[in-house]
């Protein structure tokens, strides 16, 4: 049976990775979290509301 690692054990393992491996892990996690966000109903609703506001001309342009 495979043992489940604690968050602390995973963090310790990540610290032992090389910088390029840590960057690869970072990108992998970012993609997973982004995909999860994109698939939520709340995200879809927010996106549709934004599209509606743009279509209605209710936008604010910011100048840096």
**Model confidence pLDDT, tens digit, residues 16-64:** 999 999 999 999 999 888 877 767 788 788 889 999 999 998 888 888 7
Q: Which of 44, 11, 41 is nearest to 29 (CA)?
A: 11
pTM: 0.52
Domain boundaries, the chain: 17-64
Question: Rounded CA gap, 50 and 10, in Å?
Answer: 38
Rounded to 10 degrees, what is the CA torsion of 7, 10, 11, 12?
130
What pLDDT sits at residue 23? Answer: 95
Question: Rounded CA gap, 38 and 40, in Å?
Answer: 6
Question: Rounded CA gap, 60 and 19, in Å?
Answer: 40
């Amino acid at each position: 049976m495979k043992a489940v690692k604690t968050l602390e054990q995973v963090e310790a393992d990540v610290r032992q990775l090389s910088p390029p491996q840590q960057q690869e892990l970072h990108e992998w996690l970012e993609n997973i979290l982004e995909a999860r966000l994109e698939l939520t109903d709340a995200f879809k609703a927010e996106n549709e509301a934004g599209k509606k506001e743009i279509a209605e001309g209710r936008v604010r342009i910011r100048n840096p």
